[in-house]
Amino acid sequence: TFNKQATITVLGASGDLATKKTFPALFGLYAQGHLPEKVRIFGYARTDLTDEAFRERLSSKFELVGPNTKEKAEEFKKLCHYVQGPYDKAEGFAGLNKAIEKVEKEMVASGEVPNRLFYLALPPVVFGSVCGQLKAECYLGDGKGHTRVIIEKPFGRDLETSRELQKQIAPLFTEAEIYRIDHYLGKEMVKNLLIFRFANLPMTSWWSNQYVKTVQITFKEPFGTEGRGGYFDGIGIIRDVMQNHLCQVLSLVAMERPLSFDPEDIRDEKVRVLKAVRPIEHRNVILGQYGPNEEGKPGYLDDASIKSKDSKTPTYAAIALEIRNERWDGVPFILKAGKALNDSKVEIRIQLRPVARGIFHDITPNEVVLRVQPNETIYMKVNTKYPGLSTQTVATDLDFTYHRRFTNLVIPQAYESLILDCLKGDHSNFVRDDELDEAWKIFTPLLEDIDAGKLPVEVYPYGSRGPESVSKFVQKLGYVIPKNENYIWTN
């Protein structure tokens, strides 16, 4: 139904998320011919804007590469309209409803039912009231088309606040109408996890504690919280990227084979593995906050947007999780995430147990690395005979770099991929209510202790590898640092 006709309304249309992510993704889908045949797009926000000013603003971050994109951008802008209104009053939403109904009359042929998608690019404080107003004023009732609602983190700041939010929303929209976005689930490599794991016999056979020694899921960003301190302080790196993005990746790496590709079968397995995660012990946690470096880069506390100058908010965390099930008992899953580090990358690194001792001494353990970004790659570290007359053993890589293997490769933006899934009604890559609950259950006790100042926070210099103690920490957990890390990245 949504592939024929729909209206898409972005609430919070003049904000950062909408301008940087939502509208460029909608335009990307339009330019590639993936939006419904008949579509109109509405922006709703408090700011007073004309349609013209709104169209200029929403297109400011469009990527205009490829043939005819400028013309396409002009066409796309003509499909967009702006409605100004508050987030907590019925008049605003009644006005929005009228505007939508007007275009629906033009768009929908007689006998067809209209469909509506609402994308909440809004701060969570208004989620509840906006959902209430949408249900009261803009919801398509029985016998009419579908209404779908996309919401985005933060879904609360702990288990309790997440449940409160859920309590507000659940009576208004069914779980089938709600799409909780975690944009990591739209990334190409993350979407590949189910295929790579379950469609290859070798992977299925060694993907367990029988062969795997450690799993690391790493997120590194080379910049700090510059300018975003107001949002970040008091939130910290765990709420920002771990409880959601990295925990989602973990569930896909660790889950059992789903019964089918049905979204509920997949999400059932994700929930099941999250339930097996043990409470986090303090000894399995390292926290850090970046300080200034010698080249003059400012520390976290130097940022004008950080109000509390003795803030202990972590900008780095390394946490080892234990999954107590038959497959993973004994294998630490180490999540590491940090801002203002020496690198920009996200990867999953699975190190295998050493081969039997005897004929080899000290050889590099096998590793499979799935690099999520930049430059999607899967490589496996293997040992081989150095070619020639010697019998020397050398570590090398079996390398599957996407852009070398696939010609004319176009990797969609995560938001494009997810909005398209939502238009198709596919929930596989969206977070279910019980999944969110389990993710919060894992991290909430630790977050409470961190907020109460019970854990030390190490300072690391801007642009470094993070807190110094991390290297020893991962080695203590069983990770063997390869002697000749010789994989050459191509960007």
Residues forming the active site: 245
- Whose Cβ is closer to ligand BG6: residue 11's or residue 241's? 241
Shortest gap between Cβ of 45 and ligand BG6 (angstroms)?
A: 20
- Whose Cβ is closer to ligand BG6: residue 221's or residue 433's? 221
Kindly give, in sequence order, each residue whose CB lies less than 8 Å from that of residue 471, ignoring residues fewer than 6 positions away.
465, 481
Shortest gap between Cβ of 442 and ligand BG6 (angstroms)?
A: 18
Shortest gap between Cβ of 240 and ligand BG6 (angstroms)?
A: 5
Shortest gap between Cβ of 110 and ligand BG6 (angstroms)?
A: 43
Q: Is-contact 229 339, C-beta < 8 A?
A: no
Sequential DSSP letters for 342-386: S--EEEEEEEEPPPPSSS-SSPPPPEEEEEEESS-EEEEEEEEEP
- Whose Cβ is closer to ligand BG6: residue 80's or residue 165's? 165
Stretch (H or E) spanning 76: helix 69-78
Shortest gap between Cβ of 5 and ligand BG6 (angstroms)?
A: 31
Our finding on whether 255 is near ligand BG6 (CB under 6 A) is no
- Whose Cβ is closer to ligand BG6: residue 138's or residue 151's? 151
Closest CA to 224 of 277, 290, 143, 171: 290
Our finding on whether 241 is near ligand BG6 (CB under 6 A) is yes
Q: Is-contact 13 80, C-beta < 8 A?
A: no
- Dihedrals φ, ψ of 254, to 5°? -100, -15
- Helix, strand or coil for residue 440? helix
Shortest gap between Cβ of 241 and ligand BG6 (angstroms)?
A: 6
Report the C-alpha gap between 119 and 127 in whole angstroms. 11
Report the C-alpha gap between 139 and 134 in whole angstroms. 6
Q: Which residues ranging from 387 to 416 are in contact with ligand BG6 (CB under 6 A)? A: none
Report the C-alpha gap between 376 and 404 in whole angstroms. 10
- Whose Cβ is closer to ligand BG6: residue 147's or residue 315's? 315
- On the question of a cis peptide bond just before residue 154, with omega within 30 degrees of 0, the verdict is yes
Hey, what amino acid is at 155? Answer: F
User: What is the CA angle 293-295-300, rounded to 5?
Assistant: 35
- Whose Cβ is closer to ligand BG6: residue 216's or residue 351's? 216
Kindly give, in sequence order, each residue whose CB lies less than 8 Å from that of residue 300, ignoring residues fewer than 6 positions away.
224, 225, 229, 289, 290, 291, 306, 311, 313, 315, 340
Please report the sign of the dihedral spanned by the C-alpha atoms of residue 121, residue 125, residue 126, residue 129.
Answer: positive
Shortest gap between Cβ of 139 and ligand BG6 (angstroms)?
A: 29
Hey, what amino acid is at 407? Answer: T
Binding mask 140-179 for ligand BG6 (x = CB under 6 A): ----------------------------------------
Shortest gap between Cβ of 101 and ligand BG6 (angstroms)?
A: 34
- Whose Cβ is closer to ligand BG6: residue 97's or residue 417's? 417
End-to-end CA distance of the chain: 40
Shortest gap between Cβ of 488 and ligand BG6 (angstroms)?
A: 23
Burial 282-291 (b: 16+ CB within 10 A, else e): eebbbbbbbb
- Whose Cβ is closer to ligand BG6: residue 180's or residue 183's? 183
Q: How many residues bind ligand BG6 (CB under 6 A)?
A: 4
Q: Which residues ranging from 351 to 390 are in contact with ligand BG6 (CB under 6 A)? A: none
Q: Which of 104, 240, 303, 433 binds ligand BG6 (CB under 6 A)?
A: 240
45-49 long-range contacts (CB < 8 A, ≥24 apart) are: 45/11, 45/12, 45/13, 45/14, 45/15, 45/82, 45/84, 45/85, 46/14, 46/84, 46/85, 46/86, 46/87, 47/14, 47/84, 48/84, 49/14, 49/82, 49/84
Shortest gap between Cβ of 25 and ligand BG6 (angstroms)?
A: 12
Report the C-alpha gap between 220 and 218 in whole angstroms. 6
Query: Which residue has its beta carbon closest to ligand BG6?
Result: 240
Sequential DSSP letters for 179-234: EEE-GGGGSHHHHHHHHHHHS-HHHHHH-STTTEEEEEEEEE-SS--TT-HHHHTT
- Whose Cβ is closer to ligand BG6: residue 148's or residue 153's? 153
Our finding on whether 435 is near ligand BG6 (CB under 6 A) is no
Q: Which residues ranging from 206 to 235 are in contact with ligand BG6 (CB under 6 A)? A: 221
- Whose Cβ is closer to ligand BG6: residue 57's or residue 153's? 153
For ligand BG6, the binding residues (CB under 6 A) are 183, 221, 240-241
